[in-house]
């Protein structure tokens, strides 16, 4: 196995959808792995063409990925994953590190479908991995030790922020950050539309709204401030911001955002039970 912090010789993806592509593209852009050392499998060319465009190798055989790569990401749809794991189980060895990014599939389920000592980890990524600004959490299975966890964390930090958590928090992350990308886009769109209503051109409004979200997020991360503190810094007595905050509170923005994360988390847990 590659040591923590070093690049693996070959990285495999079983499943070639948008999330697999996002992780592969992040790893390649950061120089963690060379494109020609990435092998992706899928049953058709519909998604494999995106991997070929990155310079990666592709195959229709899931077993070939396991036979070629020691680090393998399983990025199929959750309901397909059990059949895929049953297919590849005969070629899994002690050299493999197996990483599932399938939402709602527990570590215990993964381990039941693989050889008894398989080293399995579960990762919950989000789409901004494609621009190396992802927010990811990971949980390790019974046979994955600290060296495997550190190795995977070091690799995935090329795609953004990655933290190890208890598995119980993975579904919460799905509601907060996986689904949260769509929630933030909805808010960004609403901000821009407010400016459009007041007379700003559409393209400019959307660019400024997106940059405002980016700048605010960087300040929160770099300064380590609680959002309430930064919000207080922006609000001046009788100023424009406090009037806008009052309107947001009247519209129930805070409660709606909390309910959105709760609903998405509950759905992720429901999928896990299924």
274 annotated to bind ligand = no
* Tokens 């909390």, located at residue: 258
237 annotated to bind ligand = no
Looking at residue 112, what DSSP letter applies?
A: H
188 burial (CB, 10 Å; 0-12 / 13-18 / 19+) is middle
77 annotated to bind ligand = yes
Q: Distance (Å, rounded) from C-alpha 245 to C-alpha 240?
A: 9
53 annotated to bind ligand = no
Q: Which residues contact 91 (CB under 8 A, 6 or more apart)?
A: 63, 66, 67
62 annotated to bind ligand = yes
Q: Where are the beta strands (DSSP E) in the chain?
A: 11-14, 38-41, 57-59, 71-74, 97-100, 119-124, 134-140, 160-164
Binding region for NADPH: 62
Binding region: 62, 75-78
Binding region for NADP(+): 75-78
């Amino acid at each position: 196995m590659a040591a923590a912090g070093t690049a693996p010789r070959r990285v495999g993806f079983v499943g070639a959808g948008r999330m697999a592509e996002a992780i592969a593209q992040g790893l390649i852009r950061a120089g963690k792995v060379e494109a020609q050392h990435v092998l992706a499998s899928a049953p058709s060319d519909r998604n494999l063409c995106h991997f070929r465009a990155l310079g990666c190798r592709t195959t229709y055989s899931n077993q070939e990925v396991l036979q070629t790569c020691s680090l393998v990401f399983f990025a199929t749809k959750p309901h397909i994953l059990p059949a895929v794991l049953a297919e590849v189980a005969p070629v899994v060895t002690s050299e493999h590190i197996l990483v599932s990014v399938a939402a709602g599939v527990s570590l215990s389920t993964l381990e039941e479908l693989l050889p008894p000592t398989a080293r399995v980890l579960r990762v919950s990524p989000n789409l901004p991995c494609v621009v190396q600004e992802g927010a990811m959490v990971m949980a390790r299975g019974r046979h994955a030790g600290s060296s495997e966890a550190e190795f995977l964390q070091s690799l995935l930090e090329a795609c953004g922020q990655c933290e190890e958590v208890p598995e119980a928090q993975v579904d919460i992350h799905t509601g907060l950050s996986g689904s949260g990308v769509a929630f933030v886009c909805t808010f960004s769109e609403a901000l821009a539309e407010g400016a459009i209503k007041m007379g700003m051109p559409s393209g400019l409004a959307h660019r400024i709204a997106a940059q405002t979200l980016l700048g605010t997020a960087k300040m929160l991360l770099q300064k380590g401030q609680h959002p309430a503190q930064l919000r207080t810094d922006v609000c001046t007595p009788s100023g424009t911001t406090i009037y806008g905050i009052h309107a947001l509170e009247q519209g129930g923005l805070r409660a709606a955002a909390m309910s959105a994360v709760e609903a998405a988390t509950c759905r992720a847990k429901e999928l896990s039970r299924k």
